[in-house]
DNA sequence: ACGGGTGAGACA
DNA sequence: TTGTCTCAC
């Protein structure tokens, strides 16, 4: 539910950019032969041809809908091209779409504060850019306006028969009798048109956009004219828009709240809310929601565009519907392993590319208990401190699951044992990593410094202490064994067969491969699994996104500087001509030159592409931080210790005793850092570590 | 219990 | 704070 916020008189220019049937576009770029053909993206081809998760516009025109199954789509339209979502580790792998989304974000973020709202949606605050344009080259002074901008839709602009629409739009954009805010919107229209063309040029993706004074109206507008079009909402047309807007179309009102408005207050259109006082709405729906409703009825939304280019969490999950429900601990373990593998990989990528680390691991599951009426009970989600490294994540996730299962089973735990039918099943599993924070810069060189000095310190002792403090969700051996025993012993062979028959190949294989580990206590079986995929903990090499984006940025720079020169009157004409010629094929003039001063905190460079030659150090220091034996004094072992100390406990005076060349860096490292409460509890204290070094 | 896999945010 | 719940694409 949205929270009402005080509203600044809205002179902002906010854009919402929405990629058109994004997954389809990504697949069509990958398979150019599909361009222009009716195409849909489908996942899990096994059951009724899989589910459609994105439908191209050519296919929509032929009656294909998102809710269809693959087979259904084929029946409706035999010539449809169905592309499958990539599969990795037995589950859908959305990474290629995430990466494509990042490409788009890196372009859109050039012009102002940018918020990545979803994998294919972005909000932009273009206020500053628009103000700058308005003061330097207001639209009314422009002799030529780009065609893309002229194709914009202006909500409420009446169109007389016979008149040229583009002339109409041009008139609106350049009209001098508009107030300041509307002129800003006109600038926004030009800027967004330009951005969309840049996106198309550099990614081959089309998008639609909405431009208005706040997020809510822009979001509405972007959906009005699709695909590959943009719509602006002038103040004057807000009331008319909301009057006839079905309440459920409003973001946040598509669910229960919207239904309750319809049934309880007989509000069917957003405008119907106008008849209720703010107080009345607050009485019905609470103080925050009430105020929010009162505001949106008037087209008011103070929500800020967050400057955030990266997600706040990563998750990996899978459902196991109906007959595919997981019925053994072992199959749960198998899938948790798969999910954690993917999650771990994505966390490593985030670390490599953005220098961020996640601090909590959360497990979600859905389960049913057929045996009893209590089947409505929900499987509790559980979380613990996140440890980097695939096998550790797998181990922790399994422990979280068992904790949840014990709670879920509760009093039935014993009863389950005697049941012939194992009365429970897992229909959904997911692991996610949250509480992501930036790694302070400069850290890795500090670690390098310590590599050369702390060899004298015993890492084995430190490491062992750390392990004991860190071990998440520590269960007594009794507890974990009894849970395991109950579950395993109640499993019947025939059920196993049932599961195998109806489950995927991957899952069947898993049942055949390792039955041994089921016979031994839980922790032992874990460690035997650990050995098998240890190789997967070796650092990943850079690939894909970086090599893909890096040259693009370079391209951009040259492009920008070229464009810049076109606008500089001081340059010799011949030089300008040369650059113009070089750009001729690229076409449209860019507005980039107005906006050299992009907020560095929003720059894609710092948030998406930030790289350093020290990344390898960081990566390896987070991994393997659990080799408790200390028999190898590798540099990794040394470095990894650094991450476990509680910055809060550092006596500032120790910094003075450090070599002068790293003092400043250490201070910078400590200063802005906010610590997680639970990591503070279990950390050793870097001061101890320092003093150890001093003594030796 | 096939609208999947993911994300964000509010609330207790 | 954790865990639950809602909402959205």
Percent pLDDT > 70 in chain A is 60
Closest Cα partner for A358 from A463, A432, A444, A443?
A432
Nucleotide nearest to A677 (CA to C1'): C1
Which nucleotides of chain C have an atom under 7 angstroms from any protein CB?
A: 1-9
A383 C-beta less than 7 Å away from strand C: yes
A51 C-beta less than 7 Å away from strand B: yes
Q: Nearest residue to C1, CA vs C1'?
A: A677
**Distance in angstroms (rounded) separating the CA atoms of residues A175 and A182:** 10
Residues A76/A59, Cβ–Cβ less than 8 Å: no
Q: CA of A278 and C1' of B11: distance in angstroms? A: 21
A302 C-beta less than 7 Å away from strand B: no
Which one is predicted more confidently, A310 or A370?
A310
pLDDT at A9: 72
A156 C-beta less than 7 Å away from strand C: no
Q: Nearest residue to C5, CA vs C1'?
A: A1
Q: CA of A381 and C1' of C3: distance in angstroms? A: 7
A255 C-beta less than 7 Å away from strand C: yes
A266 is catalytic: no
A368 C-beta less than 7 Å away from strand B: yes
Q: Nearest residue to B5, CA vs C1'?
A: A317
Nucleotide nearest to A320 (CA to C1'): B2
Residue recorded with tokens 């650094």: A642
| Distance linking the first and last C-alpha atoms of chain A | 57
pLDDT at A385: 97
Q: CA of A101 and C1' of B3: distance in angstroms? A: 22
A36 C-beta less than 7 Å away from strand B: no
A118 C-beta less than 7 Å away from strand C: yes
User: In 3-state terms, what secondary structure has residue A590?
Assistant: coil
A588 C-beta less than 7 Å away from strand B: no
Catalytic residue among A27, A103, A115, A121: A121
A318 C-beta less than 7 Å away from strand B: yes
Q: CA of A380 and C1' of B7: distance in angstroms? A: 19
In this model, does residue A526 exceed pLDDT 70? no
**Banded pLDDT at A447 (limits 50, 70, 90):** low
**Distance in angstroms (rounded) separating the CA atoms of residues A401 and A379:** 9
**Distance in angstroms (rounded) separating the CA atoms of residues A17 and A122:** 5
Q: CA of A19 and C1' of C8: distance in angstroms? A: 15
Q: Which stretches of A297-389 are DSSP H helices?
A: 329-354
Q: Nearest residue to C3, CA vs C1'?
A: A381
A94 C-beta less than 7 Å away from strand B: yes
Q: Nearest residue to B9, CA vs C1'?
A: A1
Nucleotide nearest to A367 (CA to C1'): B1
Residue recorded with tokens 């169905």: A82
**Distance in angstroms (rounded) separating the CA atoms of residues A646 and A628:** 20
A 429-458, residues with C-beta < 7 Å of strand C: 435
A252 C-beta less than 7 Å away from strand B: no
Q: CA of A383 and C1' of C3: distance in angstroms? A: 9
A251 C-beta less than 7 Å away from strand C: yes
A43 C-beta less than 7 Å away from strand B: yes
Residue A21, phi-psi category: left (phi > 0), alpha (psi -120 to 50), beta (remainder): left
**Distance in angstroms (rounded) separating the CA atoms of residues A383 and A362:** 4
**Contacts with A40 (C-beta within 8 Å, 6 or more apart), sequence order:** A24, A52, A54, A55, A56, A59, A64, A73, A80, A81, A82, A83
Q: What share of chain A is helix, strand, coil (3-state, %, to 5)?
A: 55, 15, 35
**Distance in angstroms (rounded) separating the CA atoms of residues A625 and A387:** 8
Q: Nearest residue to B3, CA vs C1'?
A: A67
Nucleotide nearest to A94 (CA to C1'): B5
Other residues' Cβ atoms within 10 Å of the Cβ of residue A445: 15
DSSP labels for A409-426?
HTTHHHHHHH-SS--EEE
Average pLDDT over residues A26-34: 97
Average pLDDT over residues A634-640: 36
User: Which span out of A371-380, A382-391, A421-430 was modeled with the highest average pLDDT?
Assistant: A382-391
C-alpha distances in angstroms, A524 versus A368, A485, A518, A676? 28, 14, 10, 31
For residue A304, how far is the Cα from the chain centroid?
19
pLDDT at A467: 34
User: In 3-state terms, what secondary structure has residue A118?
Assistant: strand
Percent pLDDT > 90 in chain A is 56
Average pLDDT over residues A274-294: 95
Q: CA of A262 and C1' of C5: distance in angstroms? A: 21
Residues A110/A593, Cβ–Cβ less than 8 Å: no
**Distance in angstroms (rounded) separating the CA atoms of residues A461 and A468:** 11
Residue recorded with tokens 């989304």: A101
A554 C-beta less than 7 Å away from strand B: no
Q: CA of A385 and C1' of B6: distance in angstroms? A: 21
pLDDT at A410: 81
Residues A488/A328, Cβ–Cβ less than 8 Å: yes
pLDDT at A4: 66
A380 C-beta less than 7 Å away from strand C: yes
**Distance in angstroms (rounded) separating the CA atoms of residues A459 and A630:** 6
Summarize pLDDT for A539-592 with one digit per residue, the tens. Answer: 222 222 333 323 332 332 333 333 333 323 333 334 333 333 333 333 334 444
Assess whether the previous peptide bond of A202 is cis (omega < 30° from 0): no
Which one is predicted more confidently, A569 or A320?
A320
**Banded pLDDT at A161 (limits 50, 70, 90):** confident
Residues A135/A593, Cβ–Cβ less than 8 Å: no
Other residues' Cβ atoms within 10 Å of the Cβ of residue A473: 19
Residues A110/A598, Cβ–Cβ less than 8 Å: yes
Ranking A44-53, A170-179, A477-486 by mean pLDDT, the lowest is A477-486
Domains of chain A plus CATH, in order, are: 19-91 (3.40.1170.60), 98-296 (3.30.70.270), 314-537 (3.30.1490.100), 636-695 (no CATH)
Tell me the residue ranges of DSSP E strands in A89-182. Answer: 91-92, 113-118, 121-125, 153-154
**Distance in angstroms (rounded) separating the CA atoms of residues A56 and A77:** 13
pLDDT at A575: 37
Q: CA of A336 and C1' of B6: distance in angstroms? A: 17
Ranking A123-132, A137-146, A272-281, A592-601 by mean pLDDT, the lowest is A592-601
Q: CA of A252 and C1' of C3: distance in angstroms? A: 22
**Banded pLDDT at A373 (limits 50, 70, 90):** low
Nucleotide nearest to A381 (CA to C1'): C3
**Distance in angstroms (rounded) separating the CA atoms of residues A53 and A69:** 9
Nucleotide nearest to A255 (CA to C1'): C7
A678 C-beta less than 7 Å away from strand C: yes
Q: Nearest residue to B1, CA vs C1'?
A: A322
Q: Nearest residue to B7, CA vs C1'?
A: A118
pLDDT at A159: 84
Average pLDDT over residues A339-350: 97
Token pair for residue A9?
């008189």
Other residues' Cβ atoms within 10 Å of the Cβ of residue A193: 23
């Amino acid at each position: 539910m949205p929270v009402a916020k005080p509203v600044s008189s809205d002179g902002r220019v906010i854009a919402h950019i929405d990629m058109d049937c994004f997954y389809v576009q990504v697949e069509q770029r990958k398979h150019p032969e599909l361009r222009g053909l009716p195409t849909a993206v489908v996942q899990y081809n096994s059951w009724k041809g899989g589910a459609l998760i994105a439908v191209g516009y050519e296919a929509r025109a032929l009656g294909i809908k998102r809710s269809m199954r693959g087979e259904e789509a084929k029946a409706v339209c035999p010539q449809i091209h169905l592309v499958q979502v990539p599969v990795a580790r037995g589950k859908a792998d959305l990474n290629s779409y995430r990466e494509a989304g990042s490409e788009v974000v890196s372009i859109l973020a050039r012009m102002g504060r940018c918020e990545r709202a979803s994998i294919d949606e972005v909000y932009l605050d273009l206020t500053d850019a628009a103000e700058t344009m308005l003061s330097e080259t207001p639209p009314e002074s422009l002799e030529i306006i780009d065609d893309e901008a002229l194709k914009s839709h202006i909500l409420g602009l009446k169109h007389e028969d016979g008149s040229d629409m583009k002339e109409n739009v041009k008139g609106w954009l350049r009209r001098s009798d508009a107030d300041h805010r509307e002129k800003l919107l006109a600038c926004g229209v030009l800027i967004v048109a330009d951005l969309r063309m840049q996106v198309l040029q550099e990614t081959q993706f089309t998008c639609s956009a909405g431009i208005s004074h706040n997020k809510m109206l822009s979001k509405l507008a972007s959906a009005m004219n699709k695909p590959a079009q943009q719509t602006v909402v002038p103040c004057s047309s807000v009331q008319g828009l909301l009057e006839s807007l079905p309440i459920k179309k409003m973001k946040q009102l598509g669910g229960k709240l919207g239904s309750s408005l319809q049934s309880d207050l007989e509000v069917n259109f957003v405008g119907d809310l106008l008849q209720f006082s703010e107080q009345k709405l607050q009485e019905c729906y609470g103080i925050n929601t009430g105020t929010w409703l009162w505001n949106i009825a008037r087209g008011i939304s103070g929500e800020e565009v967050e400057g955030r280019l990266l997600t706040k969490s990563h998750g990996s999950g899978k459902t196991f519907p109906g007959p595919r429900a997981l019925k053994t601990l072992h199959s749960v373990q198998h899938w948790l392993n798969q999910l954690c593998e993917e999650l771990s990989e994505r966390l490593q990528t985030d670390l490599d590319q953005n220098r961020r680390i996640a601090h909590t691991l959360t497990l979600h599951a859905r389960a049913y208990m057929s045996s009893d009426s209590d089947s409505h009970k929900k499987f509790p989600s559980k979380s613990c401190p996140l440890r980097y490294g695939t096998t550790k994540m797998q181990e922790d996730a399994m422990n979280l699951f068992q904790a949840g299962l014990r709670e879920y089973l509760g009093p039935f735990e014993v009863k389950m044992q005697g049941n012939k039918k194992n009365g429970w099943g897992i229909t959904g599993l997911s692991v996610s990593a949250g509480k992501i924070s930036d790694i302070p810069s400069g850290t890795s060189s500090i670690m390098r410094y310590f590599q050369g000095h702390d060899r004298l310190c015993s890492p084995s002792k430190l490491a062992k202490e750390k392990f004991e403090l860190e071990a998440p969700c520590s269960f007594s051996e009794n507890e974990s064994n009894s849970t395991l025993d109950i579950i395993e012993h109640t499993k019947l062979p025939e059920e196993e067969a049932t599961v195998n028959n109806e489950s995927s190949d991957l899952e069947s294989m898993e049942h055949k491969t390792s039955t041994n580990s089921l016979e031994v206590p839980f922790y032992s079986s874990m460690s035997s699994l650990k050995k098998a995929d240890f190789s997967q903990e070796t650092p990943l090499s850079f690939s894909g996104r970086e090599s893909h984006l890096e040259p693009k940025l370079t391209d951009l720079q040259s492009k920008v500087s070229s464009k810049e020169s076109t606008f500089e009157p001081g340059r010799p004409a011949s030089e300008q001509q040369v650059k113009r010629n070089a750009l001729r094929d690229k076409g449209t003039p860019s507005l980039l030159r107005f906006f050299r001063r992009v907020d560095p905190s929003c720059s894609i460079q710092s948030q998406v592409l930030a790289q350093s030659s020290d990344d390898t150090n960081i990566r390896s220091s987070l991994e393997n931080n659990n080799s408790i034996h200390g028999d190898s004094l590798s540099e990794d072992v040394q470095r990894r210790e650094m991450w476990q100390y509680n910055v809060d406990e550092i006596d500032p005076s120790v910094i003075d005793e450090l070599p002068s060349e790293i003092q400043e860096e250490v201070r910078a490292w400590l200063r802005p850092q906010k610590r997680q409460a639970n990591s503070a509890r279990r950390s050793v204290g870097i001061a101890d570590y320092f003093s150890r070094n001093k003594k030796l």
